[in-house]
Structure 1
Amino acid sequence: MMKAIQRQSIRSFLGSALFAVGLTAGAVSAADKPSHDELAVIASVFDGSGGEWIDLTHAFSEDSIYWPTDTRGFELEELAHGHTEGGWFYSSYRFSSAEHGGTHLDAPIHFAEGRHTTDEVPLTSLIGPAAVVDVSDRAHSDYRISVEDFERWEAEHGRVPEGAIVLGRTGWEDRYDDRAAYLGTEMTGAEAVPELHFPGLHPDAARWLVEERDIAAFGLDTPSIDYGQSQDFRAHVILYQQNIPGFENVTNLAELPAVGSFVVALPMKIAGGSGGPLRIVAFRP
């Protein structure tokens, strides 16, 4: 039966189903209950028959990329690992991490006073249809995704959907295992910041997303929403003032189509936080 359901039906129903299941708390009337076929579509999302889940997250380790001033990086301390006197195996670890390292969430308060903290970011900003804007064929170390890039994308794929999670693919994810290539420098500490070179989002494009489109979140495969040489982090400020969160150091965007996939991005829920480690995945029908 599932093979007979068209991909477009899966996509359209999945979008509403994810929001309905995850975001509504009210009672559902009998008339609104999904049919048997619709329930089968929902099941296909989770049993693998309707598509594939793609992990967009870099694993956290001592090699994870952090902002150069976060010199401690990710630390994992072994507390226990081995067989106990009772005869069973047991392992336990303690980890330490700054909020903004590896694949992570930028909560709006990170650059906008009074806006959402990590625990206040609603699920509507973390779950939604993906719009993957690929500029990897022209991105360079000081490239900024422009309004023209978005207009070119829309000319081919249609208007950015309302509530979309817009993901910029620059190709920088391929450099993640080489710190110097990814950041533009091997230096650490405050003196490294002026030496940073990697792509980001142009402030004019951030303003266009805010004023001309209705997006849920913006993410990309680089260390920062703003490009490495930014002095004022205006793209951060423009988006976050509107309570639009950011996702940084995302990976595997080459595995997603320009349109038609759906993102679930769930950060550690830190009370009062300005960000946090993020597990972000996408469903590709």
Structure 2
Amino acid sequence: MLTKRIALLLLLCSVGASCNQSATFPAGQWLDLSYDLSAQTITWPTSKPFQLDTVAAGRTDKGYYYTAFDFCASEHGGTHIDAPIHFAENRKTVDQIPLTQLIGPTVKIDVSHQAATNRDYQITVEDFLAWEAEHGQIPDSSIVLLYTGFGKYWPDPAKYLGTATRGEAGVAALHFPGLAPVAAIWLVKNRKVKAVGIDTASIDFGQSQTYDSHVALLEQNIPAFENVANLNRVPITGAQVIALPLKIKGGSGGPLRIIAFVPDVAEAK
């Protein structure tokens, strides 16, 4: 009942309904699960880095202070969303994803122990089943967050990506964990999830050549959140997520501001 109440409050607030004294949140905390965009932002080796250019900064000739900037950013740099059309023809673009699919209860699958000893670890069906054996079946309409522990390496690309090399040579040298294609297929066939997020640069592991986990999820109009921050602070169950990307018309993705509300009764990690 508490989870449903929180989800309703989040949805009402996100679409502009009044969050007044008659609709207050329970005790808890808000977590920022997004990295800031800066010159240190990690991007895919073949993507342009984030750039911020100063248009104005300082006192004007009329006496008031004024700042303004232009920025250039990859759709898929830093904390971002992969819209279904990114890897699936005729699927939803980022502006077409319903708000209700970007807001909801989350479960965290912790594979940080496995990833600590294997940079190329791929999350398995067995990892999902082991989680369910302890916590119950992944609830319908959940946002699944995959915790590998690689957020501790941000913003060092050599440690986070496995390489600091840029270009196609950098892509070939990527080594970080991801979701195994067979597990992605199992998830979409057996569970009804809204979205899947991960604390690495890709839903597929770094050495993937065909990005089959992307295809499995996005073909079913299930978006992916990548480079999600602070998953070490998200509880196993009980948190609620709001993941709102830039609304780029026709976009294949975009920078993502993702936050989590963690009530005091949430299950500890």
TM norm. shorter chain > 0.5: yes
Q: Which residue of 2 aligns with 1:44?
A: 25
Q: Distance in 1 between matches of 2:150 and 2:196?
A: 16
Partner amino acid, structure 2, of 1:205: A
Partner amino acid, structure 2, of 1:57: S
Q: Equivalent of 2:36, from 59, 63, 72?
A: 59
Closer/same/farther in 2, CA of residues 44 and 91 from structure 1, 3 Å limit: same
Closer/same/farther in 2, CA of residues 42 and 149 from structure 1, 3 Å limit: farther
Contact 1:104-1:248 within 8 A present in 2 as well: yes
Q: What stretches of structure 2 of length at least 5 have no aligned partner?
A: 264-269
Q: Distance in 1 between matches of 2:225 and 2:100?
A: 15
Moved more, 93-102 or 10-19: 10-19
1:77-122 deviation per Cα after TM superposition (whole angstroms, max 9, x unaligned): 0011111122111100000011010000100000000000010011
Q: Which residue of 1 aligns with 2:89?
A: 113
Q: Which residue of 2 aligns with 1:277?
A: 255
Contact 1:14-1:41 within 8 A present in 2 as well: no
Where has structure 1 moved over 6 Å in runs of 4 or more?
A: none
C-alpha deviation, 1:10, in angstroms: 3.4
Question: Alignment partner of 2:200: what SS?
Answer: coil
Q: Which residue of 2 aligns with 1:35?
A: none
Contact 1:163-1:214 within 8 A present in 2 as well: yes
Matches within 5 A, 1:1-285: 9-19=1-11, 22=14, 40=21, 42-44=23-25, 50-70=27-47, 72-139=48-115, 140-285=118-263
Question: Alignment partner of 1:15: what SS?
Answer: helix
Contact 1:23-1:124 within 8 A present in 2 as well: no
Question: Alignment partner of 2:107: what SS?
Answer: strand
Q: Distance in 2 between matches of 1:180 and 1:268?
A: 28
Q: Distance in 2 between matches of 1:146 and 1:15?
A: 29
1:113-159 deviation per Cα after TM superposition (whole angstroms, max 9, x unaligned): 00000100111221010111111111121001111111111111111
Question: Alignment partner of 1:223: what SS?
Answer: coil
Partner amino acid, structure 1, of 2:6: L
Normalising by structure 2, report the TM-score. Answer: 0.92
Closer/same/farther in 2, CA of residues 23 and 244 from structure 1, 3 Å limit: farther
Q: Distance in 2 between matches of 1:41 and 1:216?
A: 29
Closer/same/farther in 2, CA of residues 124 and 225 from structure 1, 3 Å limit: same
Q: What stretches of structure 1 of length at least 5 have no aligned partner?
A: 1-8, 26-37
Partner amino acid, structure 2, of 1:188: R
Q: Distance in 2 between matches of 1:268 and 1:179?
A: 24
Contact 2:7-2:103 within 8 A present in 1 as well: no
C-alpha deviation, 1:186, in angstroms: 1.6
1:208-245 deviation per Cα after TM superposition (whole angstroms, max 9, x unaligned): 11000000000100000000000110000000000000
C-alpha deviation, 1:19, in angstroms: 4.0
Question: Alignment partner of 1:114: what SS?
Answer: coil
Q: Distance in 1 between matches of 2:174 and 2:101?
A: 29
Aligned length: 260
Partner amino acid, structure 1, of 2:5: F
C-alpha deviation, 1:44, in angstroms: 2.6
Question: Alignment partner of 2:187: what SS?
Answer: helix
CA RMSD across the alignment? 1.8
C-alpha deviation, 1:39, in angstroms: 6.7
C-alpha deviation, 1:259, in angstroms: 0.4
Contact 2:217-2:223 within 8 A present in 1 as well: yes
Percent identity (aligned): 50
C-alpha deviation, 1:181, in angstroms: 0.7
Question: Alignment partner of 2:239: what SS?
Answer: strand
Closer/same/farther in 2, CA of residues 209 and 20 from structure 1, 3 Å limit: farther
Moved more, 150-159 or 231-240: 150-159
